[in-house]
Structure 1
Amino acid sequence: METRSAAAKKRKLFFSKEDEFVPDHHNVDLISDLPDAVLHHILFLLPIKTVAQTSVLSKRWRSLWSSFPDLDFTTLNPFLPKTSKLQSQNCKESDFITQVLNHREKHSDIRILRFRARLSFSRLNGLIRLAIRHKVQVLDVEVFTEDYFNFPRCVIASDSLRVFKLKSRKPGFRLPPSSVMTSGFRSLQSLSLSRISLCNQPSLSDMFSESSFLVLKKLSLDTCFGLKHLRVGCRALQDLALENCFELQGLDVSGSNLETCRIAKCFDGYIDKSWVKIDAPRLGVVLWEHNALSDNICLENLSCLHKASIGLLHQDVSVAKLQSVSNLFAGLSLAHCLTLESNCIEILSNNNYFAVYLHQFNNLKSLELYTGFKKNNVPGLACIFRSCPTLHTLILNIINDFKTERRQWNKDLWEMSNSEEEKYWESQTLNLKSFLHHLKIVKIHGFLECENEVSLAKFLLKHGKALEEMILSTGYCKARYSLQRQKIRSQMMGFSWASSNAKIAFH
């Protein structure tokens, strides 16, 4: 019989022999055996200085760093205040970028180059020249210079450049003549320019014409000083964004392939005459945000329009501009989703003209409104509802600035006085018949149980025959469970409902 000590010795001998055949996986470099493309993808997720430090590991990693195609220097610390100590730090950062570009392999192309830096125009131009020499495809530059600089012309003749973004933090840059710009960029698909000085070139009517930028699909212009007239008609253009061009007086946009158009913070309200013309049969999204109302608006051939968002600056709408508002809504009448900011409601409410002439939105399924919901907004809301005969979803965002006096709802006084809001909504029952027979979902955010809010909710519950869901959200939690609020909600649950399928929820 084998003793316990003998069995232990046998087990020890067995495991020692097994260990002789087990390789030591801890000393095997599995990562270095991965293909270059996979390692480049992993390194792209790390800060650029960390990627540079991997070059000291071995010849293999030194080769990976020298051929690394995606250089993102935005993780460095740019735009430090201009002091003697921090200025030297700014120079070190730009020197690092220059050093990396200078020491790359001769046949090593750059796929992506991004950097932010405070530097002179000569150094900026030198960095961009190095990038062009390595056939950069995506060039994203954000700079801070001491004075205005000229657009770097070395990028215009590049055959490899696909995406170019140039943003000046301060003070800005000047564009070359249109003839120079349109003679290059044969392969450019996306162009984004920010903080352009056009004081001596107020019109860009011929720069983005039909024959220029033949493959340009995306164009973004931000903060163009002195720009008064702009025409965009690039053949392949699909996405257009124009922002912070307050001096703009005329805008002409046309394109058979244009799908998205965003115009924001343009057209100063104090300009005497301004006009807008958009002709794009494939346009699917229109975002018109915080713009002054132009004197003449013409939106043509928007047969594919899916989503539209309208936000107008606060201004007194003269009789001469009433037709422009009507044209704006008529041009967007084929939209399926529509968002209107609060000033749109104000304009519609203050001008009874639109009670007759507001165009019908026969395709509209989703409507989102922002309003202070003051007493004088009620006619404007009714006007909009009347123009949406087949609406499915209504989202009402009530702006509660607590400066406008609004009466809290009181059931006893309500039944005795039969408030003006309730009388008005009841008078609109016949005019809103189609709207009430199609509406299924209602969401009201910022619902504080004030008189005009409750009157609208009551009206929709009473006459909404297709209503399935009504969600009333306060937007804040402090008084959500107060006794008074619970009492009001109980009373609302007692209203007569036209739809047996309707559900109401309080949040």
Structure 2
Amino acid sequence: MGTRSSKRKNIAQILDNEAKSAIDRITDLPDAVLHHILFLLPIKCVAQMSILSKRWKFLWSTFPDLDFTTLNPFEISSKNLKFMNYDKHRNHPLDTAQMDFITQVFSIRDKHSDIRILCFRARLSFSRLNSLIRSAIRHNVKELDIEVTTSVTTDDYFNFPRCVIGSESLRVLKLKSGFRLPPSSIMRDGFQSLHTLSLSLVILYNQPNLSDLFSESSFPLLKKLHLDMCFGLKYLHVGCRGLEDLSLEKCFQLQGLDISCAKLAKMRVTSCFDAYSKKSWVRINAPKLEHLFWQFNAVSDTTIFEPSNFLREAYVGLFMLNRANGMGKVQSVNGFLSGLSHAGSLILESQTFEILSNNNFYIQPFCNLKSLELHTGFKKSNVQGLACLFRSSPTLHTLILKITNDRKIERKQWNRDLWDMSSTEEEQYWESQIPTLMSFLQHLRLVKIHGFLDCENEVTLAKFLLKHGKALEEMILCAGDCNDRDTLRRQKIRSQMMGFSSACSNAKVAFK
């Protein structure tokens, strides 16, 4: 019978043998498989594994996916800071440590090994940035994802690394910093192999020729383009024939946008356009557009939007500074909505719906619209806007209203009894609209109202849809916030609503 210490030794020996056998099985895998496995680990762990054997050292020196964003600078010991030649007026020591590590990785790299991905976030100098990028280009890097800030206190910006422009291997380029682009004549000579481009914090002041940079000749293979916070960008033309995904964000000074892309499927434009400009314009020609996200954008003076037969869903958020902007802005909204005439699903933000409600004009019918979601304060003035959209949605199946309960909006409570048969002015209005809403009422199946407070305009609309919705199957009313003292009144109103007549015998009313 062995002692306790001998048992521990035996167990340790068994575990050691199992560990060795496990390492051997992994080590025998092909390089490509091991590289894929290592990609799932933080790069610091991959570097530490290089000391295991010559094989693992080779795997590290040829590792193609260099994602330094997984580095945690705060793991650096405070004891090591004094050996870093730290000057508090220049570089932060943690930034210096990271960049030293990245530089060391490049120095030991096998000169014949290509880099698939290079990602890092750092504060560094112009020369060090260019040196790192040139090293990556020499290793035929395919994807560059870099976010940098200057390491010195200055109002200057980074010059765009020109070595990137002529790279034949680069497929994905993502740059975020205060970059200044070179002249358009230089930019147009490169990027022949680029598939994805993302530029953030780009400086475009006094460079009007760059407005039409994104053309077929400059980016023949570009499929995805993202521009964010492009300062000084006033006019932009995008005409890349192969582009499929376009995103513009926070281009506040934009006055003119011209999109002409035959294969564009997704477009996202957020917080763009100069709201004070008197000559802003939008032209969109994207015959295969499927998804549109247009949020918190100032209304342009003119809009030409060619409808897409492939449009599946659209989210629209437009705003005007005041109603004094004139009918030109209103017609521009009409032109924008006309471009959505084939949409299958449509969401309108509250400010867009207010523009429709305050300006009674004709909207081209949404011939394929099956789902409509409206964000609204549901004021009395919104009733005509609702009727306008209902008329323009002849085949609608699902109606969703999300009521924003603004305390500044006065809303009349429903205070009628079952025996009170008199019609209110609002009920009379809805009844008068029946001839123009026949198709809408024959197709509507589901109604869902969020923020339902049992106010008169809400109850009146629900009563009208139940009474005349011949295909209505379900109405779901989700209560908004209310005081406990209103509970009895709300219960009374709900019991009345359960007694409302319905055109469809199978219609169900549910309160949540």
TM-score (norm 2): 0.88
User: CA separation in 1, counterparts of 2:47 and 2:502?
Assistant: 69
Cα pair 1:338 1:367 within 8 Å, conserved: yes
Partner-residue secondary structure (3-state), 2:186: helix
Partner-residue secondary structure (3-state), 2:218: coil
Cα pair 1:474 1:480 within 8 Å, conserved: no
The answer as to 2:161 corresponding to 1:152 is yes
Change (3 A) 1:341 1:301: closer
Cα pair 2:183 2:210 within 8 Å, conserved: no
Offset at 1:304? 2.2
Which deviates the most, 55-64 or 96-105? Answer: 55-64
The answer as to 2:162 corresponding to 1:162 is no
User: CA separation in 1, counterparts of 2:55 and 2:406?
Assistant: 63
The answer as to 2:178 corresponding to 1:179 is no
**What is the 5 A alignment of 1:349-360?**
349-352=357-360, 354=361, 357-360=362-365
AA paired with 1:110? I
Give deviations 1:198-247, integer Å, cap 9, x for gaps. Answer: 11113534311232211011111111111111111012111111111121
User: CA separation in 1, counterparts of 2:354 and 2:483?
Assistant: 30
Offset at 1:270? 0.4
The answer as to 2:477 corresponding to 1:468 is no
Partner of 2:83: none
**What is the 5 A alignment of 1:411-426?**
411-412=416-417, 415=420, 418-426=423-431
TM-score (norm 1): 0.89
User: CA separation in 2, counterparts of 1:200 and 1:449?
Assistant: 56
Change (3 A) 1:136 1:388: same
Offset at 1:450? 1.9
AA paired with 2:180? R
Change (3 A) 1:42 1:433: same
Change (3 A) 1:24 1:166: closer
Partner of 2:36: 41
Of 405, 408, 430 in structure 2, the residue corresponding to residue 403 of structure 1 is 408
Cα pair 2:345 2:369 within 8 Å, conserved: yes
Partner-residue secondary structure (3-state), 1:432: helix
The answer as to 2:69 corresponding to 1:60 is no
Which deviates the most, 131-140 or 488-497? Answer: 488-497
Cα pair 1:203 1:227 within 8 Å, conserved: no
AA paired with 1:379? Q
The answer as to 2:116 corresponding to 1:111 is yes
Partner of 1:381: 386
Change (3 A) 1:478 1:412: closer
Offset at 1:110? 1.0
Cα pair 2:330 2:355 within 8 Å, conserved: no
Cα pair 1:437 1:464 within 8 Å, conserved: yes
The answer as to 2:260 corresponding to 1:265 is no
Of 122, 126, 132 in structure 2, the residue corresponding to residue 121 of structure 1 is 126
Partner-residue secondary structure (3-state), 1:374: coil
Of 395, 416, 419 in structure 2, the residue corresponding to residue 390 of structure 1 is 395
Which deviates the most, 310-319 or 150-159? Answer: 310-319
The answer as to 2:98 corresponding to 1:93 is yes
Give deviations 1:170-218, integer Å, cap 9, x for gaps. Answer: xx11111112112111110010101111111135343112322110111
Offset at 1:92? 0.8
Partner of 2:218: 212
Offset at 1:323? 1.9
Partner of 2:332: 324
Of 200, 204, 212 in structure 2, the residue corresponding to residue 198 of structure 1 is 204
Give deviations 1:320-346, integer Å, cap 9, x for gaps. Answer: 222212211112111111111111111
Change (3 A) 1:299 1:85: closer
Cα pair 1:204 1:229 within 8 Å, conserved: no
Give deviations 1:85-128, integer Å, cap 9, x for gaps. Answer: 98111111111111112211111111111111111111111111
User: CA separation in 2, counterparts of 1:478 and 1:114?
Assistant: 53
Structure 1: state its 5+ residue gaps.
Answer: 1-22
The answer as to 2:56 corresponding to 1:50 is no
Offset at 1:417? 6.3
Change (3 A) 1:414 1:247: farther
Partner of 1:499: 504
Cα pair 1:202 1:226 within 8 Å, conserved: no
Partner of 2:242: 236
Which deviates the most, 416-425 or 59-68? Answer: 416-425
Change (3 A) 1:497 1:89: same
What fraction of aligned residue pairs are identical, expressed as a percent?
A: 66
Partner-residue secondary structure (3-state), 1:310: strand
Give deviations 1:446-502, integer Å, cap 9, x for gaps. Answer: 222222212111111111110112222235698699444333322211111111122
User: CA separation in 2, counterparts of 1:478 and 1:77?
Assistant: 49
Which deviates the most, 178-187 or 466-475? Answer: 466-475
Give deviations 1:11-67, integer Å, cap 9, x for gaps. Answer: xxxxxxxxxxxx964541233333333332222222221221111222222222222
Give deviations 1:333-367, integer Å, cap 9, x for gaps. Answer: 11111111111111111112x1xx21111111111
Change (3 A) 1:410 1:240: same
Structure 2: state its 5+ residue gaps.
Answer: 1-15, 77-86
User: CA separation in 1, counterparts of 2:474 and 2:284?
Assistant: 38
User: CA separation in 1, counterparts of 2:139 and 2:92?
Assistant: 29
Partner-residue secondary structure (3-state), 2:420: helix
Offset at 1:376? 1.0
Change (3 A) 1:195 1:178: same
Cα pair 2:418 2:496 within 8 Å, conserved: no
Change (3 A) 1:26 1:344: closer
Change (3 A) 1:401 1:35: farther
- Number of aligned residues: 478
Partner of 2:444: 439
User: CA separation in 2, counterparts of 1:506 and 1:36?
Assistant: 60
User: CA separation in 1, counterparts of 2:140 and 2:507?
Assistant: 62
The answer as to 2:195 corresponding to 1:189 is yes
Which deviates the most, 370-379 or 301-310? Answer: 301-310
Give deviations 1:275-329, integer Å, cap 9, x for gaps. Answer: 1111121122222211111111001252322222211124224122222122111
Cα pair 2:315 2:346 within 8 Å, conserved: yes
Offset at 1:397? 1.1
User: CA separation in 1, counterparts of 2:38 and 2:474?
Assistant: 50
